[in-house]
Amino acid sequence: MPTWILHTEFKFDAAHYIDGYDGKCGRMHGHTYKVHMKAKSHKLNPSAYLKTSDMVCDFKELKWAAKDSERGGFDHGVLNDLMQENTTAERIAEYIHQETKKRIPSGIELEVTVWETETSWVSYTDNDV
């Protein structure tokens, strides 16, 4: 079966605290988060910028979270103000996954990996195999 797997990475700087955490992570602090997006599809699609079906999806749509927090992304924002869920790396990955799914064509398997530090990261997908 023809299969395309798109990969892209981006970073954003953000402040957060983990609500209810008994320790220093419960206090406001910052990270440079790194995010890896993996999008797998068996067909190609058009996008807002390309009418013909020649893309899995637009890289721009996978990188929305890198945008300024005053323009709909996470950069230089306070994550606790930008999402309802607690701001663990697990929940950030889940949130980015859910919000990205709304912006890309259906039928794409998405995996979102979020690094909170260089040595600690988590992946989220809704397609357990």
Active site residues: 25, 76, 116
CB 69 within 8 A of CB 76: yes
CB 77 within 8 A of CB 46: no
**Rounded-to-integer distance, Cα 27 and Cα 6, Å:** 36
